[in-house]
Structure 1
């Protein structure tokens, strides 16, 4: 065997791996409860926490539901009332900001994004997050696979898509690092604005040089509204931090720097929340 040829083959494999891309898409999955009901309850977030099991048209998976504990029960009722949902079985006690449920769907009435991706031969990460009607999908594409083709296929089925990022796999942070892009996606524009203002004004400093009244006044909202936005933002930041701390980070050197695309989807939850609070 030609040792030089073997080395070249290895280099070719590594080069192909390096050119593989991680693509993050937001998908507005029209007509399906995980997207439509989520859009009606923007303060509730869904996360798939298990694989799909079952047969004969019945499929079940475990889902984590987080958000406003006063809204979660109504959200689950609306979710279970959808035609494609056969059962929503509570796995933890209700009345908390984080609950787990087992969701059974009628696969004959359920349009699956994962199946569409599989039909295209696209690899994807398990554990979709759905917030304010938008599903977050992480895909892994080979050099010969087109992001545009994937989006066109999903949109042809009546869905909307937004490209969040498209980067070389070699430049993706090692597992366990806090993904700043993911964190930005979790926060609405208003939550991010309130949180950054609180940090800038010293709200989290040892001497706390600003009050919630002052933060609210600067933003033109009431103290209660400012507190609600800040509380939700803090919860999402701590949740992301907890996930990062529970993972074991791997050392990674000489990371390549590549540009990212980060268009944000519109969030109407904050505007409606402020209107309700101040009325």
Structure 2
């Protein structure tokens, strides 16, 4: 089995369009619920500096296809869950295009800087993901396959998954993540803050948070793919 990363610049999807202007904000699709009269509600987890999150949500709420944005916590928090309801008339989702071509994917996409990131699971041979890419592009969006690797069982496969995960991080992301770990940021009942890590490494708080957040997203995406490939 192979897992493939698909990047989509999903023109017409409000969260994707707006996130291009808020690169410090990361959006993860949690679930999607059909509504009436062509409306659909998506539950999104939105993370980033509080003022960026607030600006992102306000801009999404003002987008033409959006009916409502209901935040389940304060909009100025750095990690919020929201329900975004928008009109999907004459709009075909990436999920629908993938289903048309018999392609399975990890539940939910991650959106950063205007690009949706999807993890696809493919048996060796068919289906061919390039056909789905062509269909997405024909619908008016930009799409590209950016990574593909075999998912093997056993210790060798686990070593490969870790190596690929580290390779997917930038040098600065690895540096910030390693420092956060050494300082005890992930320890139970930890008191270390992002500001403490920023002071130690000599970067702005927002910049440090962005590097750390993107490193965490990459690590968790790889861990999720690794577990899913083994039936967990």
Does the pair score TM above 0.5? Answer: yes
Q: Deviations over 1:48-105 (max 9, x none)?
A: 1123232331211211100111111111111112222111111122221000101112
Structure 2 residue 52 is the aligned partner of structure 1 residue 71: yes
Q: How does 1:181-260 map to 2 (within 5 A)?
A: 181=164, 189=170, 192-193=171-172, 196=175, 223=202, 225=204, 227-237=205-215
Do the aligned residues in 1 keep the contact of 2:101 with 2:127 (CA within 8 Å)? no
Residue 160 (structure 1) aligned with residue 132 (structure 2): no
Q: CA RMSD for the aligned pairs?
A: 3.9
Residue 107 (str. 1) matches residue 122 (str. 2): no
- Is the counterpart of residue 61 in structure 1 residue 39 in structure 2? no
Could you tell me how far 1:172 is from its partner in structure 2? Answer: 9.9
The offset of 1:213, in angstroms, is 8.3
Aligned to 2:122: 141
Question: Which residue of structure 2 lines up, in the alignment, with residue 260 of structure 1?
Answer: none
- The structure that has the greater radius of gyration is 1
Q: Is the 8 A contact 1:84 1:110 kept in 2?
A: no
Quote the residue 1:128 is aligned against.
109
Q: Which runs of 4+ in 1 moved over 4 A?
A: 171-175, 178-185, 197-200, 203-206, 211-215, 235-246
TM-score (norm 1): 0.61
Structure with the higher strand share, 1 or 2: 2
Unaligned runs of 5+ in 2: 185-196
Q: Following the alignment from structure 1 to structure 2, what is the Cα–Cα distance between the partners of residues 106 and 172?
A: 46
> Unaligned stretches of 5+ in structure 1?
1-19, 216-222, 253-279
Counterpart contact for 1:47–1:64, Cα < 8 Å? yes
Name the CA shift for 1:205/1:104 in 2 (closer, same or farther; >3 Å).
closer
How many matched pairs? 211
